[in-house]
Each structure stands twice: as C-alpha cells, then as structure tokens.
Amino acid sequence: MHFDAVGDELAVHEFSQLQESGFDVARLQPAVARLAAGEGGDANALLAELAASPRVPGWPWDETDDPAPAIPPSPVDPATLPDRIHGAWLGRAAGCLLGKPVEGWSWPQIERYLERAGIEAVEDYLPRLEPDAEQPPFNASGEVGTFRGEIDGMARDDDVDYTILALTLAERHGSSFTTEDVAAAWLRCLPYHQVFTAERAAMRNLVNGMAPAEAATTRNPYREWIGALIRADLWGYVKPGDPSAAAALAERDARLSHTANGIHGARWAAALVASALVAGDVAEVVARARAVVPDRSRLAGALDAVVGWHEAGMTFSEARDAVVRDYGHYSDVHTINNAAMILVAVLWGEGDFTASTGLVVRCGWDTDSNGATVGSVLGALLGREAIPSVWADPLRGHVRSAVFGEATNSLDDLAARTLALLPAFSV
C-alpha cells in the first residue's frame, strides 16, 4: 500500500472508513471489490458516490470532533519532574525500538517468533533470528540497528520524528501555535516519503495548495488511523498534570490530518502522558486520561471495554483476544484497536516498565507506535532512574530523526529543551 494519491486505493479505504463510521455504503460493495481486485472501475466517480452516502439510521455513536468537558489539573512536584520528563523521552525511544522490527505483525506471528527465540517474557530488545518459511518479513525500515546486540543509539522512526518536530514547533511558537503552524512545520521539516497514511494524504493536499482546514478531509481515508495519536506525546510533556490542556494542544495538532476518533486518540495519548508525569499509579493515569475522550465516541467504548475486562479479572491473553475479536476489523494502524491494545498493556503491565512494553509488543499490529506510547507513559510515571539499563544502555543517550535540522539529538538535550518550555506553557 502506498497511502498516496492513488485513486483505486483511496476509494477502497474510503469505503472502509465510511462503513466503519456508520454510513450506508453497502450498495457500493461490488464496485469496491472490483477495484480492490484490479478489475477496473472509475475510482473518482466511486469516491464521489461514497461522499454522498447517508448515515445509517440508529447509528449509536457520536462521531463529531467535539471534546469532552475539561477536568481540573493535578499538583506538580517540581523536584521529580526533570527525572520524569527524561524518563518519558527515554521510554518513548526504547519502547519504539523494541517494537520496530515486528511492526505490522499479528500477535500470533510475534508469539511464534518469541517461541522460536526461547523467550517467555519480553525483557530485552528482540534478537535477530534467521527467517523461516512461516515468518513474515521484518519491517523494511526496522532491520537496521534495532535488534539486540546491533543497537547503536535510537534508530530513526516517524514515531520519534513527530515528538521532536512538536518540540521544535513549541519552541518556535509557544502555546499559541495554530494548526496552520503545524502545516508549515511539516512542509519545512518532513520528507514526504517519511510520513505515512493520513499524514501523507494531508501533506499531499498542502503541497497542492489546499488550506490546512481542508487537508484532513480531502482524499484522506486514513483520517481515523493512528497518526495523530503518535504525534501527541510532546503536548503531554509540556502540560504535566493537566490532561485537558494537553488534550487541547494535541487536538490543535491533530486537526491537520484527522477527524473524530483520530482526534480523540491524540487527545487521549497526550492526556495519558500528562497524567503520568504527576500520578502515583497506573489507575490514576488511566482514569484521568479517559476523562478527555467524549463518552459517546467509539474510542470511549473500546477503552471502557478494556477497563471492564481488567476489573472482571481477565488474563492478559484473554484481553488481547477480546480486542482482536471486537476491534480486529479495523486497519492494523487504526486508532481504536491500537489504543485498546495500548490500554491492555498499561493495565496488565501493572506499572512495570519492562512488563508493559513487552506486553504491548506481544499484542501485535502497530508495535513500534504502541511501544513508543506505552514506554512514554511508563517512563513518565516511573522516571528515568527507574528504567532498567537493559533498555537505556544500548541507546547511548542518542536519537536519530528525519526532521530537518534535528538529525541527531541527545536524550538529555531533548529533556532539557522540554523542561525549558514549561514556563511558557504554564499560563
């Protein structure tokens, strides 16, 4: 899949997007099937027909972008905040790197790999194994410098690129940045073929002269996929203890490329991190982050289901199976199903960094993105000093990125730059 301006692909994904979000598109299924099979058809005409489709009667979810009511901030401990900010950056890098080689694999494929490696619990970066006939290919960008014994600093990944880009945006514009500023930063700093799905569609729209306000909704069937969620962490870093304010900043960023649950996922991720920077335990983090997600959204339904399974005493494996059962019909890089897996790892990991990041990678799907989010949350909760050396040492404190002007950074500097922003974002 190119996630580009290819008409056939856009039409096929737009059909899925509308079907999943409650539109009556069943009449167009045969035409979509012909396109998907390469049997021909007019993709542009089909896109126009899809756009005219009505909502199905009785759709139970509220699919608007309206945010949830704000909740009051929690107190911040200035003495622990530097260690927690550093922990969040380190955790994001380590979790991302752990999941990077097997990005896009299903959980059974990952469990089989672990079984071949003799690994019962993931407590270190993955070893490189020679592929066998049943193994899917490693992620094309995830083979270099990502396996145990081969790591020399954090390999470049878009999940970390966006966190660094948001840092530069915050430094340049402060808390008053606009969605238009986000658009300008993308065009100035991001290579087109190093962004994907909704971000690539939005960037294509921007390059073609479209206004940022229209970039998310024009020929962009990926608008509820995970891209905005993976861009959100920095907005939590600069609003410690204030999940509603962090969510509002993340929404301003997300609107360039996403709508509805794509935006809600970004709000939730920022709120998770903001809450973790001051919280005492995982339960507090989860509860306060959930408050920023509109109750009648599909994302809220998925998050509430996972919490219910945890309270009912499900095992990790049972919860993972339930997510696949109930939300596995979405794309492997959709917001809703991946957010549910993130929450499974956070809850069943019980506040342990290694357990939580290991569990989320064992969930499959967007393993590098989900590993990054879980690592960021647990790093923020526990602090840099509590992250085991098995995760920290191979990174050597260095991060690579594709962001223009930010090719290499130290984690120390990224944390210090983030801390320097806090006074400007506290008003």
Instruction: Assess contact for 404 and 154: CB atoms under 8 A.
Output: no
Angle between helices 298-311 and 316-327 (to 10 degrees): 160
Residues belonging to the binding site are 157-158, 366, 368-369
**Rounded CA gap, 419 and 272, in Å?**
18
**Where do we find the tokens 């190119």?**
2
DSSP 59-94: --S--S-PPPPP-PPPP--TTTHHHHHHHHHHHHHH
Instruction: Assess contact for 95 and 392: CB atoms under 8 A.
Output: no
**Rounded CA gap, 311 and 213, in Å?**
41
Residues belonging to the binding site for Mg(2+) are 157-158, 366, 368-369
**Rounded CA gap, 33 and 36, in Å?**
5
Return the sign of the alpha-carbon dihedral for residues 47, 49, 51, 55.
negative
Which alpha helices (DSSP H) does 333-398 contain, by range?
335-348, 353-362, 367-382, 389-392
Angle between helices 81-99 and 260-276 (to 10 degrees): 130
Single-letter code of the amino acid located at 5? A
Q: Is 278 helix (H, G, I), strand (E, B) or coil?
A: coil
